[in-house]
A and B are shown apart, each in its own frame.
Chain A
Amino acid sequence: MAANTTHADDTRDTTRRSTDGLWTRIRTNPQPALRWGVVAAVLVVLELGALTGGILTLVDALVMGVTGLIDVIVGLVSPALAGRVVDVQLALSTFIEGVRSTAQSLPTLLSRDVIPNQGYNDPSTVRSFLGLSYNAWTGPFLGLSPAAAWAIRMALTLAYSLFTFYWLYRGWLTFRTHYRRAGWTPRDDMVNRLRNHSWGKFGIVVLVLFLTMSLFGTTLAPSTVQQNITASYGNEVQYVSDDTGAVETIPVGEANFNSKSKGNPAQNVGVMTYDDYGRFHPFGTLPNGRDLFTYMMGGAETTLMVTGIAIGMAGFIAALLALVSSYYGGTVDLSVLTLADGIVSIPQLLLLIMVSVVFQDHWLKSVFNGGLLLALVFGLTTWPVLWRSLRGPALQVAEEEWVDAAKSFGQQPTVTMRKHMLPYVLGYLLIYASMTVGGIVIAMASLSFLGNGLGITPPTPAWGRAISQGQPYVSSASWHIALIPGLIIVVLVTGANALGDGIRDAIDPESEGGSEEEAAATGGGA
């Protein structure tokens, strides 16, 4: 009897331990979670306004993407119903927009307001600091020069962003060492392998920088897209006039007009220089006098939106169809194959031109300045490429005996696909998606390069358009206009491929790379 009691106690003990939720586990050992949480809270508070704004932008993009897709599908059946979807979409979007403008008023430490960089230099203004007196600017942070103020703000923002991403990773590590029930999971090995993969880490850094550019673009740039580009005649700057020596006011548009980079040294605002209005241009100006750095940040946001929606949609469709076609095989597989081949056989550029013409005056064309339409076309034409790359791995998993085992005890097909196949397909999806993203970035840039109603509607910044504008000046004093956007695209595409390589080596250490499937996936551009 005594032995029995002990046994019962033991059982109860283990049961209790295993039924504990994550929260209980944190309560029993709060230290590591607290340590992480305090820092995380500080990070959030620092950028509360910007973070909420950023998240809302992503939510907005997601809502637009999903409803857009629904709308297009419903529109095929009943245009009236599609109108309803549009109403819902617009209502949602307006609502999110409202919340976002409220969010903008939340305190944000690393913002243009706290560390301003615009102003004028009146020689008569003198400040002293630690007993040293210096000729101070009116406007910029601490009276520093616009260049210095901008550099400080940008450096702080970058540091903040990199550190935040690192801290998220630290959070996972904390969970893994202190709170996770399993001492080891296969995923740990993958993360460790990726951590030792310098090429892959390069990819991660590029991706993080790109995300920073798109999400914190307004803080990073010396000016804003709205002030410098889209509403340049509705905003003014103050400057000290060379002629009169007095402080004067001029619309930004006019100032831009006099700051053009036209290739000859007399008419060029190059890299890291000031124009005549005391404005600092880290990347110089465009042929129309706009600030290239600001333009690039705006372009990053557009690029993120379009490629994000496109690859998200393509990846979702591809993974879903890969699971279904490999689980059921036979006729299902064959019909997906036929559909995919049909879509791939349409020349993407031709399709884009057609879509641009057909949707010329459609509301869809106005969402994200034509970005959503582009994203939909890219998404719907890219999934077959991804699907073909995923089909092989999916078929392989479908052959595994654990799938048969699930079938033998009557598991539902959808659950089997999600639990027993998806985790294996997901890794490959990440690989091929990162490699395909480069193709979409390039395709999008090519469209904007071509112009003529293709791509993003001007004046909204688009990387390809900057290259196209700078093309005549490549071998002149204004070389920066085409070169810098070009380099950024190259680095981003290379980074995305590096990330794909890294993930591949992480999930499948024996693979050698350079297979045909990858070549097919990378060649997804227009």
Chain B
Amino acid sequence: MSQQSIQSTADADQHSQPLVEVTDLKKHYGDGGRFSGPPVKAVDGVNFEIQEGETLGLVGESGSGKTTLGRTLIQLETATEGTVSFDGRDITKLTGSDLKQWRKNAQIVFQDPDSSLNDRMTIGEIVREPLDAHDWNSPAERRDRVKELLSSVGLQADHYYRYPHQFSGGQRQRIGIARALALEPEFMVLDEPVSALDASVQAKILNLLEDLQDEFGLTYLFIAHDLSVVRHICDRVAVMYLGKIMEIGETEELYADAKNPYTRSLLSAIPRPDPTIDRNRITLPGAPPSPRNPPAGCQFSTRCPAKIRPEAYADIDDDTWSRIEQFREVVRERTRDQMGVRDRVKRRLGTFSKYDDIEEAADDLFADVDLPAGITDTVDTAIEAVKDGRPTEAHDALTREFGGVCDTERPDMHQVSDAGRLSYCHRHDSEYDSVADTLADRSHE
């Protein structure tokens, strides 16, 4: 498949527009209510395109917004901003019967085979429903079509009158695929289609999906939570973190020579068949921040192993620096808390004590390192500010002292290879060291 679609990508480059083109797409939840607090920025401005016949992998941790992005592409969610054009037509504005007609073109295969099929309907009814909904031909032809579909996904025609309960996870996933195929879509979103299945079944389903793509000329968006699954099935891969695409490009090239720090850390986590090849595993500290409160600069800045440091602290050893970064993240998290009236009064009276535990957190982090005097002062000032109930002040002070461009400015998408790979990182600016050098330096210290 790979070869064939590289071919088709090349073709597409020559002539027409891509099948799917996503521009500045945003999906925010809980926006608008006065008391709802800041919105969840599940997808926060992404751009990419998918060529006809191609498989684009979309990889990210849970909470990265990949599923929301997939659902927005097929209009299961309404985009907050931006456009999705399909065959040159913006589909985010479609309504009523236009939308219903368009829906035939794009279908989805869900992750959880237990939840994706209605247990009270027979397999025949389930696969037939899309045809019924669109009044496709005569009822007898629909039945024949369902049987055809069942056999093309590797099931038998006499499964028609069975219920989902009577099938294994893999078979249920095949049923879900048959349903998605019923209306002959051009584009399919595969939302982690194999991650709920046993390893032995996974390969079979992946093969089936590849065969179907060849047979029907389908275009896939393949969502996965790690890079290991997508390598064999995808022509190109997009890596997503906190609502943003960090790196996107041809699969093989991206695997061989990832440019973005986040992609690199994901790749380093894949178990290697050949352990003699030395590639240091990068473990990311902490957890991704909440999408309600993403960092102001680069989304990855709170955990990035290659983050750009201010000149003044270039010589501090990595361990110490990473502790400082973690401390900053603890303080940043505190700025999220909405303070109640009672706490505000207490703060004014100077009896505020809810945040006193910051001291413990700092003790834990800095207990066994010797901080240079200048740093200790800044940290202590910040601790005092937090204890007084002014975490925002503390956060600002810390950013002023320790912050760099990664904390304050959103990076641009930089082209990082001849094939057109893009990466979202300040380090691709010529004024900074490259990601590879930095990571090598820091891991060898």
Contacts of B119 in A (CB 8 A): 186
Query: A11: CB under 8 A from chain B?
Result: yes
**Cβ of A376 to closest chain B Cβ, rounded Å:** 33
Query: B393: CB under 8 A from chain A?
Result: no
Secondary structure of the A contact surface, majority rule: helix
Question: Are A409 and B76 in contact, with the CB atoms below 8 A?
Answer: no
Contacts of A127 in B (CB 8 A): none
**Cβ of B102 to closest chain A Cβ, rounded Å:** 8
Contacts of A408 in B (CB 8 A): 74, 76, 103, 106-108
Question: Are B161 and A11 in contact, with the CB atoms below 8 A?
Answer: no
Query: A4: CB under 8 A from chain B?
Result: no
Within 8 A of A (CB), among B79-118: 99-101, 103-104, 106-108, 110, 112, 115-118
Question: Are A406 and B129 in contact, with the CB atoms below 8 A?
Answer: yes
Segment of B140-148, B214-222, B306-314, B336-344 in the binding face: B140-148
Contacts of A11 in B (CB 8 A): 144, 147
Question: Are B118 and A419 in contact, with the CB atoms below 8 A?
Answer: yes
**Cβ of A184 to closest chain B Cβ, rounded Å:** 7
Interface membership of chain B positions 161-191, coded 1 if the CB is closer than 8 angstroms to chain A and 0 otherwise: 1110110000000001001001100000000
Query: B47: CB under 8 A from chain A?
Result: no
Closest to B97 in A: A410
Question: Are B120 and A410 in contact, with the CB atoms below 8 A?
Answer: no
Contacts of A412 in B (CB 8 A): 133
Query: A411: CB under 8 A from chain B?
Result: yes
Question: Are A15 and B140 in contact, with the CB atoms below 8 A?
Answer: yes
Within 8 A of B (CB), among A155-197: 181-187
Contacts of A423 in B (CB 8 A): 118, 120
**Cβ of B38 to closest chain A Cβ, rounded Å:** 19
Q: Which of B110, B112, B183 contacts A409 (CB under 8 A)?
A: B183
Closest to A408 in B: B108
Contacts of B130 in A (CB 8 A): 409-411
Question: Are A186 and B165 in contact, with the CB atoms below 8 A?
Answer: yes
Query: A128: CB under 8 A from chain B?
Result: no
Given A401-B116, A419-B121, A423-B120, A182 contacting B144 (CB threshold 8 A): no
A272 to B238, CA, bound (A): 86
Query: B2: CB under 8 A from chain A?
Result: no
Contacts of B163 in A (CB 8 A): 182, 184-186
**Cβ of A323 to closest chain B Cβ, rounded Å:** 15
Question: Are A407 and B76 in contact, with the CB atoms below 8 A?
Answer: yes
A411 to B126, CA, bound (A): 12
Given A15-B140, A181-B161, A415-B133, A409 contacting B115 (CB threshold 8 A): no
**Cβ of A496 to closest chain B Cβ, rounded Å:** 26
**Cβ of A176 to closest chain B Cβ, rounded Å:** 13
Contacts of B269 in A (CB 8 A): none
Query: A400: CB under 8 A from chain B?
Result: yes
Contacts of B320 in A (CB 8 A): none
Given A186-B120, A405-B179, A409-B104, A18 contacting B110 (CB threshold 8 A): no
Given A15-B143, A19-B143, A405 contacting B121 (CB threshold 8 A): no
Q: Which of A14, A402, A406, A410 contacts B99 (CB under 8 A)?
A: A410
Question: Are A18 and B143 in contact, with the CB atoms below 8 A?
Answer: yes
Interface membership of chain A positions 416-442, coded 1 if the CB is closer than 8 angstroms to chain B and 0 otherwise: 000110011000000000000000000
Contacts of A185 in B (CB 8 A): 163
Question: Are A405 and B165 in contact, with the CB atoms below 8 A?
Answer: no
Closest to A426 in B: B120
Query: A254: CB under 8 A from chain B?
Result: no
Query: A248: CB under 8 A from chain B?
Result: no
Question: Are B116 and A402 in contact, with the CB atoms below 8 A?
Answer: yes
**Cβ of B95 to closest chain A Cβ, rounded Å:** 12
Contacts of B162 in A (CB 8 A): 182-184
Query: B17: CB under 8 A from chain A?
Result: no
Query: B385: CB under 8 A from chain A?
Result: no
**Cβ of B184 to closest chain A Cβ, rounded Å:** 12
A14 to B143, CA, bound (A): 10
Contacts of B182 in A (CB 8 A): 409
Question: Are A409 and B116 in contact, with the CB atoms below 8 A?
Answer: no
Query: A404: CB under 8 A from chain B?
Result: yes
A18 to B104, CA, bound (A): 27
A25 to B155, CA, bound (A): 25
Interface membership of chain A positions 373-407, coded 1 if the CB is closer than 8 angstroms to chain B and 0 otherwise: 00000000000000000000000000011101111
Closest to B115 in A: A401
Query: B355: CB under 8 A from chain A?
Result: no
Question: Are B140 and A19 in contact, with the CB atoms below 8 A?
Answer: yes
Query: B160: CB under 8 A from chain A?
Result: yes
Question: Are B161 and A182 in contact, with the CB atoms below 8 A?
Answer: yes
A400 to B110, CA, bound (A): 11
A404 to B161, CA, bound (A): 23
A19 to B100, CA, bound (A): 29
Within 8 A of A (CB), among B126-163: 129-130, 133-134, 140, 143-144, 147, 157-158, 160-163
Contacts of A15 in B (CB 8 A): 140, 143-144, 147
Residue from A401, A404, A420 with most neighbouring chain B CB atoms (10 Å): A401
Question: Are A409 and B147 in contact, with the CB atoms below 8 A?
Answer: no
Question: Are B120 and A405 in contact, with the CB atoms below 8 A?
Answer: no
**Cβ of B160 to closest chain A Cβ, rounded Å:** 7
Contacts of B115 in A (CB 8 A): 400-402
Query: B122: CB under 8 A from chain A?
Result: yes
Question: Are B161 and A409 in contact, with the CB atoms below 8 A?
Answer: no
**Cβ of B115 to closest chain A Cβ, rounded Å:** 4
Contacts of A184 in B (CB 8 A): 162-163, 166
Residue from A18, A187, A404, A405 with most neighbouring chain B CB atoms (10 Å): A405
A402 to B76, CA, bound (A): 12
Contacts of A415 in B (CB 8 A): 133
Contacts of B99 in A (CB 8 A): 410
Q: Which of B121, B157, B161, B179 contacts A183 (CB under 8 A)?
A: B161
A11 to B122, CA, bound (A): 20
Question: Are B144 and A402 in contact, with the CB atoms below 8 A?
Answer: no
Question: Are B140 and A409 in contact, with the CB atoms below 8 A?
Answer: no
Question: Are B157 and A14 in contact, with the CB atoms below 8 A?
Answer: yes
Closest to B118 in A: A402
Closest to A402 in B: B118
A412 to B135, CA, bound (A): 12
Contacts of A419 in B (CB 8 A): 118, 121, 129
A19 to B116, CA, bound (A): 27
Contacts of B71 in A (CB 8 A): 404
Contacts of A182 in B (CB 8 A): 122, 161-163
**Cβ of A420 to closest chain B Cβ, rounded Å:** 5
Contacts of A18 in B (CB 8 A): 143, 160
A409 to B136, CA, bound (A): 13
Question: Are A404 and B140 in contact, with the CB atoms below 8 A?
Answer: no
Question: Are A14 and B76 in contact, with the CB atoms below 8 A?
Answer: no
Contacts of A183 in B (CB 8 A): 161-162
Contacts of A410 in B (CB 8 A): 99-101, 103-104, 130, 133-134
Residue from B133, B147, B158, B182 with most neighbouring chain A CB atoms (10 Å): B133
Question: Are B103 and A409 in contact, with the CB atoms below 8 A?
Answer: yes
Interface membership of chain A positions 22-55, coded 1 if the CB is closer than 8 angstroms to chain B and 0 otherwise: 0000000000000000000000000000000000
Contacts of A181 in B (CB 8 A): 161
**Cβ of A44 to closest chain B Cβ, rounded Å:** 32
A408 to B181, CA, bound (A): 12
**Cβ of A191 to closest chain B Cβ, rounded Å:** 14
A409 to B107, CA, bound (A): 7
Question: Are B110 and A404 in contact, with the CB atoms below 8 A?
Answer: yes
A2 to B158, CA, bound (A): 23
Contacts of B158 in A (CB 8 A): 14
Interchain residue pairs with CB less than 8 A apart (9)? A15-B143, A181-B161, A183-B161, A184-B163, A400-B118, A405-B116, A405-B176, A409-B134, A409-B182
Beyond contacts A182-B161, A183-B161: 13 other A-B pairs, Cβ-Cβ < 8 A, are A15-B140, A186-B163, A400-B115, A401-B110, A402-B117, A405-B116, A408-B103, A409-B134, A409-B183, A410-B99, A411-B129, A423-B118, A424-B120
Q: Which residues of A contact B (CB under 8 A)?
A: 11, 14-15, 18-19, 181-187, 400-402, 404-412, 415, 419-420, 423-424
Q: Which 4 residue pairs of A and B lie closest in terms of their CB atoms, listed nearest first?
A: A410-B100, A410-B103, A409-B130, A401-B115
